[in-house]
Amino acid sequence: MFTATFSSSLRFFLHLGLVLSLVLPGLVDAQVPPAGVKNIVLVHGAFADGSSWSKVIPILEARGYRVTAVQNPLTSLSEDVAATQRAIALQDGPVILVGHSWGGAVITQAGNDPKVVGLVYVAAYAPEAGQSANEASTPFGITEGQKQIRVDSNKFATMTAQGILEDFAQGLPLIERKLVLAVQGDSNGPMFDEKLTTAAWKTKPSWVVVSANDRMLPPAMERAEEKRLNATTTVLPTCHLAMLEDPSKVAAVIVDAAQQSAAR
C-alpha cells in the first residue's frame, strides 16, 4: 500500500516537474552542457523523502547536470551523513551539495568531503560545529509547524495532518499537499539534538534560500544565515517546501552555485 502510494506520488511530482521545465524558456536548455561543476547531490529534510526534489530534478537534468537525490534513513545524524557521503563518493567530479530543512544539518556535517565545492541551504538549518539543529533554531522561537510534531513511544516523530497541510506545505495546491502527507516519513526525534562536529560552510562557499512564508523553520533563522555563512541569499515568498512551490527559482540558485563554484 505504502509503496504504491509513494510510486504514484513520485510519478505525479516528476510529471509536474517535467512539464514545468518544458514551459520555462530561458531556464532550460537541454543542448548546452553545464560549465564547470556538473554533479548535484540533493539531501531532503525530515518528514519527507527524495520526492521533495522531484520538480527540481528534471529542470537541472535538462540543463545537463547529473543529479542524485539521497534517501536519508532519518534515524540519526551520523546515518544520514553516511548516506550522503555514499552518494558523494559515487560522483565523478566536484559536487554541489544541497540540503533542505534537516538536510541542512546533514550537508553541514558531510560537506567537508573534498569533492564538495559549494553548499546550498534551502529553508534549512546551518548549525555551528558543536551545535545541534534544535540549538540552531531555538533562539528564534517555536513555529506553528513545530507545534504539530508528535513523538511516539519509540522516540520517532511525525507531523499531524493539520501540520503538513497548513504549516509544512501550505503554499502548494491541495492535491500536492495531500501527496506530501502521504509520503511523510517518521524521523528519529533525538537526532535533532545531536551535535555536529564540523561546519563545512566555514570553508566552502554557501548559498541560502530563505522561505519568507515558512511556518516550519523560523524565517528569521534562515535570514540570519546570510551573514553568519557569508552566503549569497535569495528570499522567496514560499512555504517550507520552496523547491516544490517555486522549483524554477530554487533550481536557478543551484545552477548559480555550480557556475560560481567552478569559477573559484
pLDDT tens digit sequence for 44-79? 999 999 999 999 999 999 999 999 999 999 999 999
C-alpha cell at position 157: 516523530
Query: How many whole angstroms separate alpha carbon 125 and alpha carbon 133?
Result: 6
pLDDT tens digit sequence for 231-248? 999 999 999 999 999 999
**Given a cut of 60, is residue 32 above it in pLDDT?**
no
Give residue 180's Cα distance to chain centre.
Answer: 14
**Would you tell me how many other CB atoms lie within 10 Å of the CB of residue 90?**
11
Query: How many whole angstroms separate alpha carbon 65 and alpha carbon 262?
Result: 13
Edge-to-edge strand list for the sheet holding 156-159: 149-151, 156-159, 187-188
The candidate with the shortest Cα–Cα distance to 185, out of 171, 201, 202, 164, is 164
CB 65 within 8 A of CB 117: no
Edge-to-edge strand list for the sheet holding 66-70: 66-70, 39-43, 95-100, 116-122, 206-211, 232-236
DSSP annotation string for 169-222: STTS-HHHHHHHHHTPPPEEGGGGGPPPS--GGGTS-EEEEEETT-SSS-HHHH
Query: How many whole angstroms separate alpha carbon 156 and alpha carbon 79?
Result: 15
Prediction pTM value? 0.88
Measured over the CA atoms of residue 130, residue 125, residue 159 and residue 14, the dihedral's sign is: negative
159 DSSP 8-state letter: E
Q: Where are the alpha helices (DSSP H) in the chain?
A: 2-22, 56-62, 77-89, 102-110, 133-137, 161-163, 174-182, 219-228, 242-245, 247-263
Residue 116 parent element (H or E): strand 116-122
pLDDT tens digit sequence for 180-191? 999 998 999 999
Lowest mean pLDDT among 14-18, 99-103, 134-138, 217-221: 14-18
pLDDT tens digit sequence for 110-165? 999 999 999 999 999 999 999 999 999 999 999 999 999 999 999 999 999 999 99
CB 241 within 8 A of CB 154: no
